Amino acid sequence: NHKVYNCLTIHKRIHTGEKPCVCEDCGRGFHDMGSLRNHKVIHTGIRPYKCPECGKTFSREDVLKKHLRIHSGERPYQCNVCNKRFVRISHLKIHMRTHTGEKPYCCEQCGSSYAQSGDLTKHMRRHTGEKPFACSDCDRRFNNSGDLSKHRRSHTGHRPYNCPRCLRTFTRSHHLSQHMEKHI
């Protein structure tokens, strides 16, 4: 009976968002101790599970199995509204918010709301001015990893966006889009 009570208590945390089990290494919270124990493996640096396709390594076997879906194309989770399919159930849950309009992550400073917690985290950096992503080649810092990746191309000369009509290349997709308007 005590075990049933614990399972119900832990299950309720999914609905309340309570995450009392906190990783002392990174501060991330979890609903239960089992999830925390699984997470803590990432901090050991040990990654014994290797993808036979691309060589990427993982600290847990279940994460490798999810990763393998990228190579196999398996998408076992399907939206019952638009039939779009997903590799992970968490991606389906986030996708469903596009149909419901749910934006459960709200900024306490300005009231902006978001469908994903990561989007709120990025938004909060506008208020704090935090720029945690640093370029290793120069002194520039960025508030999100995407902007850092775009910036890094300026050092490497990598221009992945190709015009299919005139062979010009661009570092950013919107530059290619602007260029394509000239061909119209």
Backbone angles phi, psi at 150, to 5 degrees: -65, -45
Q: How many residues does the chain have?
A: 184
CA 167 – CA 152 distance, rounded (Å): 22
Is the separation of the CB atoms in 150 and 171 below 8 Å? yes
State the distance between the two ends of the chain, measured CA to CA, in whole angstroms. 71
State the pTM of this model.
0.52
Tens place of pLDDT for every residue, the chain, 184 residues?
Answer: 556 668 888 888 877 778 899 989 888 888 899 889 888 888 888 889 999 999 999 988 988 998 999 889 899 999 999 999 998 898 999 999 999 999 988 999 999 999 988 888 889 999 999 999 999 889 899 988 888 888 887 888 778 888 988 989 887 788 888 898 888 7
The DSSP letter of residue 130 is -
Domains along the chain? 21-72 (3.30.160.60), 107-184 (3.30.160.60)
